[in-house]
Structure 1
């Protein structure tokens, strides 16, 4: 499913990255990879810091899916800050250009993931989207999940690490 996230970043990056004269064409793919890495890294940081309720709220759509509401979410704001810093550092773009790229791409990507996880936009496994059932079954990968209990931890609760691991570590 990491490929699906990368595909969403690519789809949402056409105007902000590829058609952006401030981004040299030879860096387009690297900027897109940096954005995807910042998203997965930011989500991993949230899991490692124990912000499970924040992630459940984000992926449950509690913050909304509009660009403005998503960018006001503290998790998304943290991911954005890290992505802007990475783009400035790696590619020498000024922070305003990097901010415009991130503010253009990040809400679209996360909005699509949230919509697909919540059954909007026709995104099931068969449609190539994100499906909460498959996330629960997959586990493993980026967040170190991976269990044989169908996404439930040993106490009977939901294993968000395993669910998100399936999203970002499985295929």
Structure 2
């Protein structure tokens, strides 16, 4: 998974960073690394925050991967972008406009391609289970994210993911969790929301 993400960072960093006169050449690798770290860190924080996993599943399973512009209006992506802009300014001395330009050019493209690859059945370079395992540091083992994603996207058909949707998804996923020694619905929900 990390290799796929690094490849996307390198691909989209060519014009956003390397060919960008606002980014000094000696900072090219560091700036691209900071975008990657910020993206992974932001997704990880979302996955382990109270109620954040449902929103993350909605993001990673959404059709927004085909439209980079709509990704920047997503609150998760907006929060990641704000954090990365601040880090680029602090660590590399970039101006606000230069840092925002780098993030605005790279983040939606990288994340959009990552979402596309994750949801493409013909692309076996990455799947939701591997992506979620990387994002959460393996704290969600035993959860079938492929099944949860398909249920999550169906639940999002009305434009929102509420507690009833989460309970239905968790209840359906509980069978696999129980077979692996999980603590029933409470254990599954506790694992989903606590990040353990």
* TM-score over 0.5 (shorter chain): yes
Normalising by the residue count of structure 2, what TM-score does the alignment of the two structures yield? 0.69
Q: Deviations over 1:88-138 (max 9, x none)?
A: 000111011100100000011111111111117x421xxxx32235557xx
| Residue of structure 2 in register with 1:86 after alignment | 87
Structure 2: gaps spanning 5 or more residues:
146-175
| Residue of structure 1 in register with 2:45 after alignment | 45
1:142 CA displacement: 4.7
Provide closer, same or farther for how the CA distance between residues 116 and 22 of structure 1 changes in structure 2, counting only shifts above 3 A: same
Structure 1: gaps spanning 5 or more residues:
162-171
Q: Is the 8 A contact 1:83 1:102 kept in 2?
A: yes
Q: Give distance in 1, aligned partners of 2:65 and 2:47.
A: 21
Q: Deviations over 1:116-166 (max 9, x none)?
A: 11117x421xxxx32235557xx36753426356665434769779xxxxx
Provide closer, same or farther for how the CA distance between residues 118 and 94 of structure 1 changes in structure 2, counting only shifts above 3 A: same
Q: Is the 8 A contact 2:65 2:115 kept in 1?
A: no
Residues matched between the structures, number: 154
1:45 CA displacement: 1.1
> RMSD in angstroms over aligned alpha carbons?
2.7
Normalising by the residue count of structure 1, what TM-score does the alignment of the two structures yield? 0.78
Q: Which has the larger radius of gyration?
A: 2
| Residue of structure 2 in register with 1:143 after alignment | 137
Q: Is the 8 A contact 2:88 2:99 kept in 1?
A: yes
Higher helix share: 2
